[in-house]
Structure 1
Amino acid sequence: MSHKYTTTLNLFFSKFSVFTFLLFILAQTSFAQNKEVEQVFYFTGNTELKTSNPTQQVLKSISELSQNDDKATFVALGNITKDGYPPKKKDRKKVEELLQQSIMQPLANFNGNIIFMPGRNEWNKNGHENIDDMESFIQDNSKVKFWPNDGCPRELDDLDTENIEFLMIDSQWFLEDWDNHLYLNNKCDIKTRDDFIAKFKDDLKDEQNKTVVVAVYHSVLSLSRQNFLEAIGGVSAQDFYSTQRQKYAGTLETLASQFPDVIFVSASDKNLQYVFDDGIPQIISGAATDKLDNVRKAKDGQFASKSNGFARLTVYKDRSSKVEFFTTDAGSPEKLFEKKIRRQQPKQGEISYPDISAMGSTTKASIYTKEETDKSSLYKFFWGNHYRDVYSKEIEAPVLDLSTLPGNVHAISEGGGNQSRSLRLIDDEKHEYTARELRKSAVRFIQSKITDHYVRDFMQNTIAEEIVQDFYTTAQPYAPFALNPIFDSLDIYNAQPKIYYLPKQKQLGIFNEDYGDKLYMLEAHAGDENQSFERFGDADDIISTKDLLAEIQDSKKHKVDESNFLKVRLMDFAVGDYDRHYDQWRWSAYEQEDGTTTYKTIRRDRDQAFPKYDGLILSLLKVAMIDFRSMEKYDEDVNNVKWLSRYAYPLDQAIIKNLTWEDWEEQVEFIQQKLTDETIEVAFKTLPEATQDESMASIQENLKTRRDNLKSIARRYYDYLMSHQIILGTEDKDDFLITRQPNGKTTIKLTTEEGESFERTYDKELTKEIWIYGMDDEDTFKIVGDGDHYIPLKILGGENNDVYDFENTRAAKAYDYKSKKNTFVNSGSRKWLVDSYDINTYNDASRKLDAFSTLPVLGYNQDTGFSAGLSGTYTTYGLANNPFLTQQTLMAKYYAATHGVELKYSGEFANAFYNWNFGLDARYTTPNYAINYFGTGNHTDYDRDQVDLDFNRVRISQWSVKPSLIYRNDRVSLRLGPTVESLNVEYSGDGVTGDTNIIDAGDDVFNTQYYAGAEAAFQYKNKSGEIAFIRRGFQFDLVAGYKTNIDEYNNEFTYLKPTLSIDYPLHPSGMAVLATKIGASMNFGDEYEFYHAATLGGNNSLRGFRNERFNGQTSFYQSTDLRVGIAQLKTNFIPLRLGVSAGFDYGRVWVDNDNSEQWHNSYGGSVFINGFKAITANVGYYRSKESDRVLFTLGFKF
């Protein structure tokens, strides 16, 4: 082919390619122009009251561009002010003038909505109150909206659109130290961070059919550069990698990753960014300031620029969206970057679906396949039999053709359960239904337990998924449907679920791809749209549990039918259902003629009825972990009412207030009369014929027996529930009259401002403690009467000036804020005034259950050999936890190499003084317990070929007691206290103790010696995940102490032990980490025995040497690792990260008259495997000139 021809051909194709490209661009432009815009957002942040450029140029440019928009919203994402809104009115005038001048005037011509949000700067002292005041000023003097309102954490608004929800979050609220803000959350429905997280998830679930734009000051993803201190975790909660901020960011990102169309917009980074991770787009627009943050290089379609400017987000009617970034550095806005975030969503007519008209009225199907339930005898021994065979048994189920139901029932969204895969259905009358697949989702459950990073996609087709999927077979899948007629006979409102085979079909629309062709449960949704349904009692309204608790707290005119609720709860015990948390209930409301409202119970879900928890592993887990103790095998009786009611207990406490034991007996008798043998048998006959097996017959017999035993079960729970009582006032003024009576009785009468009253007498034989919360407004607490055998009372005033009139001060203590006015009539009243949010704020889930747990303690190393033991911990909780009321641990451990036994006790008792706990540690070892000794000095002889391991073991019997005062917060801990100890070294005549060149036979060390002293231990820790692969963090420890003999010997010395460890990420992902630990130990004074010397060797210093290899007056070492994650593996077990490390240690000891200049070193490496980003197994091999050592650890030692 000629060169000329080739050139002509190339030119032709080049022109054709350009022409094609131009057509594509024109088509895209035409497509964008034809798309109907739903909303245009303009975002910026960090204006900080600045009246000069570049801030003014950013705002001016936004205002000008908005003139071309029909539907626009401007959002100032935080840091509107520089130092917050002043608390004193006299200081506010200048700030108000600057607000008008710096931001409100430049935006006066903005063509659309204007929204201001708080950032970090707005949270000064009592920031929530100042934010509330600033909100009032701004909204009273402009068209600007200030959200979230009242210093609360969230606000949701649709901005008058059909397909957008704008969710505004005050992230500084989450990061703040709440003890610094008096009456925080007093105007908010959300009172705790856990409540906020739950509400955030509910918002995303409820609005999953819309584009949810989440505006929040602190970013959840970032490409900003961090300095050294910030990269290892920082010292402030504001730092991106701080523990607090990572918890906030990780939780929000993980929840958002589970929903289809969520966009984050933030401004904490003073630059412009577009970041994308785990399906989550993050827009950062905080560049309306003259001090910009550096950025890293953006890759893979991301964007980052250290430029002044703003972001524009356009959302179209078809729910597609795009983001554009503009810089104003040159004066006028110049586009830097554009990215399509979400494409147009498919429409109903574009979805293909099968024709089901030819299907019969019934079909056979099973929940699991035979292969999934075919397990060996050994597997069943460890994991249990469960109801596994039932899950793979085919049943004859009716086919559900939604088009045949009245009202055009069709799917509108996915459900958001932690385990179930479900669809929300709706008909033309707006009645809603739920279709829930009987096969639960293991990956959903696993994701619900891992809240700070997204794992769902990595968990599919793994052994972890298989184990959870198999664990679901502990629940009987069909027996709970027999409860429909049983609940009806007892007049218990419920959704009356039915079993169907739901094929893929037209009515499922866009959900056909992921749903259908399985066994499903169909039930009416328990919501206000179905309040007229007879199954829900034809109510005036249906509300959630959270709304119910708010109503009954707000006014005593809102009352729960306690007898009705108790009846339902007794049936929970009868059917063995432990999973009765707040969301498992709804409440039918009935307005009464006297102006009150009565609520009756709607029981939701019954998945955990009649469970079969068996197998060795589950039995062991119940002993070790309290999370498994609620899981009782369904048999003739309830073994432990406390654990079976664990999740329902807070609600029982809040609702069952007035019922006596006679009322309980009445409900028991009602159930026993109505729930006849015939009723049970008829109910179970309604189940599919294929399910009528031996296990179903056993369930029926156990249900009959539990019915007969119900009075005994009820009495046990009545006693447990009455042992601790919580009484709540209202949000208005309340008067509490407490009368102490003879024989341990106490009468409490509450009279509200509305004249409503509550009165009950408690008996100390039954009730061991009562907490009384006044809640909001000014409350009065009066204690009268002499009485005897007093029930302890804890009285919490809450907000405003509360009056404590304790004529009888015995066994009564007042709790309130220190920073507010309180009135104590009797100066002898016991009180604790402290600005603690957790103590002074009522939280319906604040009372945790006391628990005892037992764990095995296993280990191995070259010096001690195999070791095994048990550790038991008993933890109690009360009102003022720090972080518990008491915690006591007893550990016993046996060492096979020496036959030594070690016993340890550790106890901690909260709030001996405010924020200071009392601690007590004790330790005892038997005479066979051993440590190593090779002689004193930096250069001591050891030849492993000449002597065995036992030669250098010194058997030592010892005991010690260390009482202390302990202070701790999130990062800092301090322990101060005296020490007492006894040590006795055994003289064996052989080994190191028989070597007179090392120890003289007549040395005092072979006599029992007693020491007393004092010790202080300080720790600053900014790292988490002790058994994880720590990607960043640092920790500093300093121990200082003094010891002296308290017998005839003359040993006396002081000591100092500083340690610093740093984990520095060499890559932003954290998968390459340089970790180092520097430590030293110094004894001041020459009079100390070798067992008190500074030592080196073993896991915590020179890893290639034996434990305590070097012994001296002073020691120093540094250990350094380079740890690199080399692969992320999606295995059949769990998602794993495989990594390797290379390590090097060096160190030495010093003693008087030792002229050694030698530094000892060891080197080696390890292979580690990290699962779930939570636990790391690490196997290492380290060498020194003397020995080789293989080490196994969970996590890393530094």
Structure 2
Amino acid sequence: MNPRYPFAFLLLTAASCSRDTYFQPDARVDFTSALPARADSARVTAGRHYRRGPSGRFFLGPHYRRAWAEPITLPVLDLQTAVPGGLKFGKIGGGFQTISMTVVGADGRSYALRSIDKDPYRTLPKALRQGFILTTVRDATSAGMPYGALVVPALAEAAGVPHTTPRAFYVRPDENGLEEASERFRGKVVLLEEKFEGKQNITGPVAGAQDLEESDDVLAERYASAKHVLDGDAYIRARLLDLWLGDWDRHEGQWSWAAYTQPTGRVLWKPVPQDRDQVFFRFDDGVLSWLVSKLVAKFRTFRLHYESIEGYTRNAAFMDERALAAVPRATYLRTAHELQLQLTDAVIEQAVRQGLPREVYQLEGPRMIATLKARRTTLPKATEEFYRLKAREVLVAGTDEAERFVVQRLNDTATVVSVYALPLRKKDPAASLLYQRSFNPAYTHTVRLHGLQGKDEFVVSGEVRRSPFVEVYGGPGEDLLQDSSRVAGLRKRTRFFDTSRNNVLEPGPETKDRTAHSVLSHAFDRDGSGR
């Protein structure tokens, strides 16, 4: 092979791994014999099709291939006894990679049933759904720890983060109790876990909540009314746990939210993480996978030191921007130190030993424990980097009701942004306060204010040498901007984006008028659908 074409050589190597029938026909080690009708357990592998020879491991990476191919004993899924009262068919899920469905208990509680193995076939363009490219992408599933989700509950419990408690099962090759989904699940290793969606599922870690909703519904309520607030302190705790676990796939669809009514009448939405398929990810240990990791930043490997914080957190950027907007640096660091104390050696060792199947623990347990302990030691440093990443550009959004945004450029290290509900309570203006945070230009380059709908007011004041840029997006409706601030330097630090008509501008020396005849400045992605 010509050394000038190393990538072509890699592709040919990957092509050599291609085969027409990719997945194991049945998870049982001895699937040629019938499973006894009353069998309550089976000897299975999560994915022995991920085994590779020396050249395959060299180019594609060893990943967690041994864990996928290691025979373990799992209980056979019995829909009558899996939960008290039994389970029945609910609906087929719509996952792009995982075979999934909802099953329902006798009490109306819903559970997710999904395969441990994945098939990214539908995530690829049609032109790539064949040959070595498809096989190579399918092979990347082996970078995930198949039983990693079973380790998380004990760690989340110690960290004070709500969690599901998944259990692994083998589905009989003649299972019919899942109705039209039965054929899709037969012979597979699956996880069964609680779903935290809907009032019927309020129990366990969310007991006492008034409601349970998905992210898109919660965000719709958050931006409609100031009555609804996201719990930023609880969210940063959950996100630091994600970071510690190397869980890079935390997009908005991976969260449910539990509603708690406060004495003030506001509804505080607390995050409930779900779907831990990508914890302990191990990817860049092969030549080809190493190259891919340089091109796709989110594929970060779980190792002793933290890799790119931006990569670990890229999939969660949309939700982070909205849920962390009010969280100061001190809360980030305090939470990191609390987690260090809560996630003790004993907690880590017990979680890994009890979570992993015995045979897989012998292969991976000691290494996982050592890595978790090392990452715990440097969690505050990683947290500082996470804060700096999120503080660089901050979104401060109002609601569809009327608000007053007050920006006070107090000094060279503090620009304070406060948001008040209108009309202000004359006897107690502080009771109208919805949001407040101080920004240091050493960390924050830009603060973006979105008034959304309603007749909003933006008041900017103060004379300083240094301050973040403040970008004001008035939104639909008549808005007011008053800017009397001054910042040293030639670049104007207050920018107003809105339509050219139906607004009142009282500009100052820092004001840059960016109004236009178009309504493009009114666009605001409320639920992630605009990305």
* Shared fold per TM-score greater than 0.5: yes
For the 8 Å contact 1:432–1:529, the answer to whether it is kept is no
Alignment of 1:277-288 (within 5 A): none
Which residue is equivalent to 1:759?
436
- Per-residue CA deviations over 1:603-662 (Å, capped at 9, x if unaligned) read 111111101112122222333x3xx11111111121211121111122112111333222
Q: Over residues 239-284 of structure 1, what are the superposed CA-to-partner deviations in whole Å (9 max), with x where a residue is unaligned? A: xxxxxxxxxxxxxxxxxxxxxxxxxxxxxxxxxxxxxxxxxxxxxx
* Residue aligning to 1:466: 135
2:346 is aligned with 1:675:
no
Of the candidates 785, 793, 802, which is equivalent to residue 470 of structure 2?
793
More strand by share: 1
Match of 2:411 in 1: 742
Q: Which residue of 1 aligns with 2:247?
A: 577
CA deviation map 1:124-161 (0-9, x unaligned): xxxxxxxxxxxxxxxxxxxxxxxxxxxxxxxxxxxxxx
Q: Is the 8 A contact 2:219 2:527 kept in 1?
A: no
**Matched letter for residue 664 of structure 1:** Y
| Counterpart mapping for 1:404-415 below 5 A | 404=81, 405-415=83-93
Match of 1:364 in 2: 43
Q: Give the number of the structure whose residues are more often helix, by fraction.
A: 2
CA contact (8 A) 1:386 1:613 kept: yes
Would you say 1:480 and 2:149 are equivalent positions?
A: yes
Post-superposition offset of 1:745: 2.4
Is 2:525 aligned against 1:816?
A: no
Contact 1:501 1:518 in 2 (8 A): yes
1:805 to 1:402, Cα distance in 2 relative to 1, 3 A: same
- Per-residue CA deviation, residues 466-513 of structure 1 (Å, 9 max, x unaligned), is 222211000011133111111122222122111111214342223322
TM-score, normalization by structure 2: 0.85
Distance 1:484 1:827 in 2: 55
DSSP 3-state at the match of 2:371: helix
Aligned to 2:324: 656
State the Cα distance separating 1:360 from its structure 2 match. 2.6
Per-residue Cα deviation, 1:799-837 (whole angstroms, up to 9, x for no partner) = 11111111126411111113x311112376321112445
User: Alpha carbons of 1:658 and 1:423: their partners in 2 closer, same or farther (altered >3 Å)?
Assistant: closer
| Alpha-carbon distance change, 725 to 494 in structure 1, aligned in 2, over 3 angstroms | same
Identity, % of aligned pairs?
22
In 2: Cα distance, 1:400 partner to 1:588 partner: 30
Q: In the superposition, relative to structure 1, how do residues 837 and 821 fare at CA in structure 2: closer, same or farther (>3 Å)? A: closer
Letter of the aligned partner of 2:281 in structure 1?
Answer: P
Corresponding position of 1:608: 278
Distance 2:414 2:90 in 1: 57
SS of residue matched to 2:184: coil
Q: Does 1:617 align with 2:298?
A: no
Does structure 2 retain, via aligned residues, the 8 Å contact 1:430–1:529?
no
Normalising by structure 1, we get a TM-score of 0.39
Question: Could you tell me which residue of structure 1 aligns to residue 30 of structure 2?
Answer: none
C-alpha spacing 1:537/1:356, structure 2 compared with 1 (3 Å): farther
Deviations 1:343-376 (A, max 9, x none): xxxxxxxxxxxx987333221101223xx23423
CA distance 1:641–1:837, shift in 2 (3 Å): farther
SS at match of 2:239: helix
TM-superposed deviation, 1:439? 1.6
- Correspondence for 1:587 among 257, 272, 275: 257
1:448 match = 123
Aligned: 1:425 with 2:103 = yes
Contact 2:395–2:447 (CA under 8 A) maintained in structure 1: yes
Structure 1: tracts of 5 or more residues without a match: 1-354, 850-1198
| TM-fit CA distance, 1:705 | 0.8
Matches within 5 A, 1:470-509: 470-503=139-172, 504-509=174-179
For 1:488, what is the secondary structure of its paired residue? Answer: helix
Name the CA distance, whole Å, in 2 between partners of 1:577 and 1:836: 41
In the TM superposition, residue 387 of structure 1 has moved relative to its aligned partner by 0.8
- In the other structure, the counterpart of 1:559 is 229
Whole-Å separation in 2 of the counterparts to 1:688 and 1:376:
25
CA distance in 1, matches of 2:497, 2:288: 44
Which of residues 723, 728, 731 is equivalent to 2:400? 731
Gaps of 5+ in 2: 1-33, 424-431, 487-491
* Superposed CA offset, 1:709-758 (max 9, x none): 11001011111111111111121111112112222421112111262432
Q: Take 2:289 and 2:252, find their aligned partners in 1: how far apart are those partners?
A: 26
1:830 aligns with 2:494: no
Separation (CA, whole Å) in 2 of partners of 1:417 and 1:430: 23
> Which residue is 2:76 aligned to?
399
1:376 to 37, 47, 53: 53
- The question of whether the paired residues in 1 share the 8 Å contact of 2:309 and 2:386 is answered with yes
Q: Distance in 2 between matches of 1:835 and 1:576?
A: 46
Q: Aligned equivalents of 1:609 and 1:836: distance in 2?
A: 45
Q: Structure 2: how far apart are the matches of 1:607 and 1:467? A: 19
How far does the alpha carbon of each residue in 1:35-85 deviate from its partner, in whole angstroms, 9 at most, with x for none? xxxxxxxxxxxxxxxxxxxxxxxxxxxxxxxxxxxxxxxxxxxxxxxxxxx
Residues 391, 473 of structure 1: 8 Å contact kept: yes
CA RMSD of aligned residues (A): 2.4
Aligned partner letter, 2:498:
D
**How many residues get paired?**
480
Aligned twin of 1:806: 483
Distance 1:630 1:573 in 2: 12
Structure 2 residue corresponding to 1:532, chosen from 198, 202, 208: 202
Name the SS for the 2:80 alignment partner. helix
From 522, 525, 528, give the equivalent of 1:840: 522
Paired AA for residue 743 in structure 1:
D
Q: Whole-Å Cα distance in 2 between the matches of residues 529 and 739 of structure 1?
A: 42
**Distance change (3 Å), C-alpha of 1:620 and 1:655:** same
User: Contact conserved, 2:99 with 2:184, CA < 8 A, in 1?
Assistant: no
Tell me how far 1:529 sits from its aligned partner.
Answer: 4.4
Q: 1:574 Cα shift?
A: 0.4
* 2:353–2:365 CA contact under 8 A, matched in 1: no
Which whole-Å CA distance do the structure 1 matches of 2:35 and 2:164 have between them? Answer: 27
Distance 2:283 2:69 in 1: 18
2: CA distance between counterparts of 1:537 and 1:487?
A: 16
Pair 362,537 (structure 1): closer, same or farther in 2 beyond 3 Å: same
Measure the CA separation in 1 of the matches of 2:114 and 2:262: 36
- Partner SS for 1:570: helix
* Matched position secondary structure for 2:248: coil
Contact 2:215 2:527 in 1 (8 A): no
In the other structure, the counterpart of 2:360 is 691
**1:556·1:756 contact (CA, 8 Å) conserved in 2?**
no
For 1:760 and 1:424, the matched residues in 2 are separated by 41
Tell me the residue number matched to 1:172. Answer: none
Secondary structure of the residue aligned to 1:494 is coil
Residue type at the aligned position of 1:409: L
**Aligned residues of 1:730 and 1:752 also touching (Cα < 8 A):** no
Distance in structure 1 (CA, Å) of the matches to 2:493 and 2:350: 55
Deviations along 1:394-450, one digit per CA (max 9) or x if unpaired, are 11111121122433412233211111001221133322111111121232xxx2343
User: Among residues 311, 318, 326, which one is paired with 1:643 in the alignment?
Assistant: 311
The 3 A distance-change label for structure 1 pair 529 and 552 is: closer
Greater relative contact order structure (CA < 8 Å, 6+ sep): 2
